[in-house]
Structure 1
Amino acid sequence: MRRLALFAALAVLASSGATAAPAPAPDPAPVGTAEERGVAVAAARAGRDGVRWGRCTGQHAMPGRARCGTVAVPLDYARPGGPSLRLTVSRTAATGGTDGTVVRQGALLFGPGGPGASGMSFPAVALTPAWKPLAEAYDLVGYAPRGVGGSAPLLCADPAERPVGPSPAPTRPSRALLREWRAEAERYATACARRNGAALRHHTSLNSARDLEVVRAALGEPRLTYLGVAYGGYLGALYADLFPHRVRRMVLDSPVDPDPARVWYRGHLARPAAYETRWADFRAWVARHDDVHGLGGDAGAVARAYERASARLAARPAGGTVGPGQLHAAMLTALHHDEVWPHRARALAGYVHGDDRQLLAQAGPMPDAAARAELAAREENTRAVYTAVRCNDAPWPTAWKVWEADAARLARGAPFTAWDHVRTDLPCASWTGPRQRPRDVRTGPGELPPVLVLAAERDAAAPYRGALELQRRLAGAALVTERGAGSHALSGGPNTCVDGHLRAYLLHGRVPTAPTPPCTPHAEPRPRPRDLPPPVLTPAPAP
């Protein structure tokens, strides 16, 4: 499932035409804050060193012509001569087209979501038809942000100690379960501080945005051409605010809300309602295909079937490993990408009708012990970076009664994820160390080339309000909306209207004129009969 979700996420104005952008104005003199001076020093050093490209091996191996390397960035930009981190980067060189006549436009750097996701596999999209025009004109470049994957990986707990097996549903937690969550969150925050020491405070969104500037210099690009998805869109917005003179073209796909008042706790409060809407969309789709699924002819009937399945799993976990928590986690992934709907519907319908093979294949543990250990390590790394960045970035409430009251209020209208969101971010209530004040991202007219923002109206992971707010804050930004749809990350996806805008912008520098007509939604997926063999998918992670 992770591989599907990754490629769904990847299936993401300078001069017109295919010529390279003119050379930018020289960097301003390295004055200002210590961090600003440190970025200038690190970028100059990276520009001299470049990237030594070699084979992509181990966890970074991928099909095609991709090459991998590293870029050194300071741990602390206020001390550019101090300890450094090496970020892993990957690249597929521009093909120039079948006849070699397509002019190379430079590097297109992909910013993954998260915090905690890696973009190292991005160059592999060069092998897909949807990305061929861009792969002809651009080097497709991915990277792992600081702390992620091979980029000085951050861990807060031993992956081997991660709980496995059936877990309760997070939708209506008991008082005992809430106490367990609070204790677990406190232990995790304490362990993270103890394990990582003073280095932990440098895992922030601002430092990751500064890292983009160093990577740009190492690639030898005078200006940055960037495609950021979800949280990667927020990093792009920070970069645009910090280094507007260095932006060539920038696509911010399904971005999170950059309003400093909503980074991150109030943004956390906005998501359950969006997830509830998307959960209703999924159930309505299942009901429209009741001839295949047999779970009921309306969304309410499907919800009742889900609740019955959850209760059965609580009494007797499927295969001894899949309980209500695993069922919930599996269904949650369906709310990010509707291409997953047929698989999750098959799993639920199969279980309700007495066949748990689909559910075990999609939500159960991987059968191979080594693969399970590798997945656990990857998930702990993701969780550690996600937690560290969000907790360091902004103030969070420290009183449990605030979290509990907000979650209880939200759960009255959005029960599917309200409490789950509390559990995910609760370590921030006990986080130690300095908290940053979120940057007030904002550019004025003429400070920045036109930026292209892509968003789906019913996106659960990045509610549409965030795209509107980002467009408002980046003067001259154009917003392309997929109306009536909710898949997260649109670039290279099934909507030809959205992809047309993406290519026109990246290949020719054209942005749609305002007001931009919305794109009609892409076609809904087709259901898959229950009697097909189970798909070969990596199971969804336990909550």
Structure 2
Amino acid sequence: MRRTAIFGATGGVVTGVLIAGALAAPAASAGQRAPGGDAEARGVKLAAARAAKAGIDWRDCPADWGLEKPIQCGFVSVPLDYAKPNGRKIKIAVDRIGNTGTAEERQGSVLYNPGGPGGSGMRFPKRVTTKNPLWAKTAKAYDFVGFDPRGVGHSTPISCVDPQEFVKGPKLDPVPDSEADKRVQRKLAKDYAAGCKKRSGWMLPHMTTPNTARDIDVIRAALGEKKLNFIGVSYGTYLGGVYATLFPTHVRRMIVDSVVNPAQEKIWYQANLDQDVAFEMRWNDWKKWVAKYDAAYHIGDTPEKVQKQWETLRAAAKKKPIGGKVGPAELLAFFQNAPYYDSAWTEVAQAWSAYLAGDEKPLIEAAAPDMSDTKGNIASENGNAVYTAVECADAKWPTSWSRWNRDNTRLHKDYPFLTWSNAWMNLPCATWGAPQQTPLDVGADKGLPPVLIVQAERDAATPYEGAVELHKRLKGSRLITEKDAGSHGVTTEINPCINERVDAYLLKGKVDAKDVTCGPHATPKPEAKK
């Protein structure tokens, strides 16, 4: 899950016998896990059959989508409401690049979701055009297919506020100093929920993870695939788990990387509270790293000194926004990249180091609001709207402010890095103006092939316990643990112990006889000064 204001908990990545697979009824595992009953099951079966017949009209992508040849784009029509498959339709944008190997090497398509909710997967085919070496072997065998989930980007995008207003800053400090500060944030959250209803109310009841999973099954059919190959990262792991629950017999191969805890009691309120704890852990990891390389960064030679510098920086930005643009909220949005991704460790440290040396420019350029981020259908406002809409619709959230206040006040005492920011981001769900469903009971005990689960032990955005829980629920799955590591999105890191197993699984369907623990990928080091 990816967040910037955004999972949440913010951060934050997808085959050819035709009609037989499309017409197979979506199967729920024992216990009737599937929500919505027979109406949705009949609806997705009908929509998939129609999509299999229609296919996808692949064309060169529109110039302003930033997807160059030979990537092609198209649309798949799906019902807004699967209980009413003959009712209103929406369009789901998809793109693809063909496999780079021979016709004999081709194994179909692999569909990708990068997380969010609210993330676009349309850049997935660029892993081929940019010749990403980690994916070269897989690209020989598969067409790489990306898509914008419903409500995202080019797929009937939703909105909650004016994009120009959304990006303006500096925003309020997310850490409240008083009850008055909390009242201001509560009003902002309530107004945001009202804005979602006003601007996109017709979509909100249907912005659920199960509906997006149904959309994926229709995409599968439109691609001409009997079974689905899928890679999901972050929130994409929850989407994959829901798909595996609804359509276990439609899965061929599935990788889930950096796993959302799928337990019903975790979706989504508790998952966000758990994330606050995990972020503090990974923030502490990064502070140790910064202290280790104090000779390069001059921020502090102990984690305690680094923390003190952070508190001093926040206080200074609160008193007077840096460059008139970067306050505490903008600082947090930038600095939280370090707990998310090891690849951001040096960037964040370098910008901070330059600031302390008297050069504000790198920090301002990295953290200031991007006023150009309002154009087209991929603006951050859209991503934030989808994040909120899906998490609010997927589960029944607490409506009592006293509970939110109690839980977050308690957590903030020991885990201050993210707690209040996370609370305000999710608080619109307390006054949501659309139906909220009971979360799906994720799991499959028959009909599902082995699913490969990949997880870093110290992941901040999706704590490790989530991978263990999903592993229990998907019978026959295999768990690869990256020990003593915490980057979000393990399959994008260079770690042969993991990379080779991902290739073996996607290319040959091979999994280890038992779960595997891998050592960590290489820890970043300060870049040499030029």
Q: Is the TM value for this pair above 0.5?
A: yes
The residue aligned with 1:465 is 465
Determine the C-alpha separation between the residues in 2 that align with 1:372 and 1:263.
Answer: 30
Determine the C-alpha separation between the residues in 1 that align with 2:447 and 2:236.
Answer: 21
| Structure 2: gaps spanning 5 or more residues | 4-10, 28-36
The residue aligned with 1:112 is 114
The residue aligned with 2:435 is 434
Deviations 1:412-453 (A, max 9, x none): 211111111101100000012321111111211x42101000
The residue aligned with 2:148 is 144
Alignment partner of 1:331 is 2:335 = yes
The residue aligned with 2:232 is 228
SS in 2 for 1:76: coil
The residue aligned with 1:242 is 246
Single out whichever of 486-495 and 375-384 deviates more from structure 2: 375-384
Determine the C-alpha separation between the residues in 2 that align with 1:389 and 1:173.
Answer: 30
Alignment partner of 1:56 is 2:61 = yes
SS in 1 for 2:153: coil
SS in 1 for 2:479: strand
Alignment partner of 1:40 is 2:45 = yes
The residue aligned with 1:538 is none
The CA deviation at 1:162 is: 2.4
User: Which amino acid letter does the alignment assign opposite residue 465 of structure 1?
Assistant: E
Contact 2:22 2:226 in 1 (8 A): no
Contact 2:229 2:252 in 1 (8 A): yes
Determine the C-alpha separation between the residues in 1 that align with 2:506 and 2:26.
Answer: 31
Contact 1:110 1:141 in 2 (8 A): yes
How is 1:370-449 mapped onto 2 (pairs within 5 angstroms)? 371-374=372-375, 378-444=379-445, 446-449=446-449
| Structure 1: gaps spanning 5 or more residues | 3-7, 13-18, 533-543
The CA deviation at 1:376 is: 10
Alignment partner of 1:85 is 2:86 = no
Alignment partner of 1:68 is 2:67 = no
Q: Cα–Cα, structure 1 residues 64 and 337, in superposed 2: closer, same or farther, change >3 Å? A: farther
The CA deviation at 1:101 is: 7.2
Deviations 1:376-426 (A, max 9, x none): 961110111111111111111101111010001111211111111101100
SS in 2 for 1:122: coil
The residue aligned with 1:296 is 300
Deviations 1:66-112 (A, max 9, x none): 1110000100001111111110001010011xxx3751000000022
The residue aligned with 2:455 is 455
Determine the C-alpha separation between the residues in 2 that align with 1:22 and 1:146.
Answer: 24
Deviations 1:201-260 (A, max 9, x none): 011111001001000000000000110111111111111111111110110111201101
Alignment partner of 1:181 is 2:182 = no
Determine the C-alpha separation between the residues in 1 that align with 2:488 and 2:74.
Answer: 29
The residue aligned with 1:528 is 527
Contact 2:22 2:49 in 1 (8 A): no
The CA deviation at 1:176 is: 2.4
Determine the C-alpha separation between the residues in 1 that align with 2:22 and 2:190.
Answer: 48
The CA deviation at 1:292 is: 0.5
Deviations 1:444-488 (A, max 9, x none): 1x4210100010011111111100000000001000011011111
Contact 2:17 2:224 in 1 (8 A): no
Alignment partner of 1:276 is 2:280 = yes
The CA deviation at 1:159 is: 1.1
Determine the C-alpha separation between the residues in 2 that align with 1:438 and 1:499.
Answer: 33
The CA deviation at 1:170 is: 2.3
The CA deviation at 1:360 is: 1.1
Determine the C-alpha separation between the residues in 2 that align with 1:337 and 1:386.
Answer: 20
Provide the TM-score with structure 1 as the length reference. Answer: 0.90
Cα root mean square deviation, aligned: 2.4
SS in 2 for 1:479: strand
User: Which amino acid letter does the alignment assign opposite residue 396 of structure 1?
Assistant: W
User: Which amino acid letter does the alignment assign opposite residue 422 of structure 2?
Assistant: H
Provide the TM-score with structure 2 as the length reference. Answer: 0.92
The residue aligned with 1:162 is 166
SS in 1 for 2:518: coil
The CA deviation at 1:195 is: 2.0
The residue aligned with 2:258 is 254
Single out whichever of 121-130 and 376-385 deviates more from structure 2: 376-385
Contact 1:306 1:348 in 2 (8 A): no
Determine the C-alpha separation between the residues in 1 that align with 2:389 and 2:275.
Answer: 20
The CA deviation at 1:168 is: 4.4
Contact 1:169 1:310 in 2 (8 A): no
Determine the C-alpha separation between the residues in 2 that align with 1:459 and 1:395.
Answer: 26
Contact 2:397 2:430 in 1 (8 A): yes
